[in-house]
Structure 1
Amino acid sequence: MKRDLAAVLLRRRRATGQLSPLQMESLREVCELNEACDDMADTAGIVAAYTAYYGPVPF
């Protein structure tokens, strides 16, 4: 197996960086439409609420 192909296959995913304010606002707008998600966002945070109701953050 060539070295570059092996590197692609074994490459680890990097941890996601901090979300920008625009990305956070986008998550908030989606979550506001669901009252339960909006309430959870106020207590647990927008990322936790979005993940619980809609799955992983898309960006």
Structure 2
Amino acid sequence: MVQLMKKELVAITVDDLAPPYKDYEFFKDGDKLPFRYQANIFDMVNAWWLIEASTLV
């Protein structure tokens, strides 16, 4: 299992109410947790990738 550092929560300001968030590092550690395109059941790593991507829209 990959050991990752815990992310710090950023302070929410009026400028940060709508994505994309300027002070957020999207897809951090994505190189350590690649998208599992062959998964055929729920996968937490894939869920994380999709959450990150949806926040950019």
- TM-score greater than 0.5 by the shorter chain: no
- Which has the larger Rg? 1
- Structure with the bigger RCO (C-alpha within 8 Å, sep 6+) is 2
Normalised by the size of structure 2, how large is the TM-score? Answer: 0.29
Normalised by the size of structure 1, how large is the TM-score? Answer: 0.28
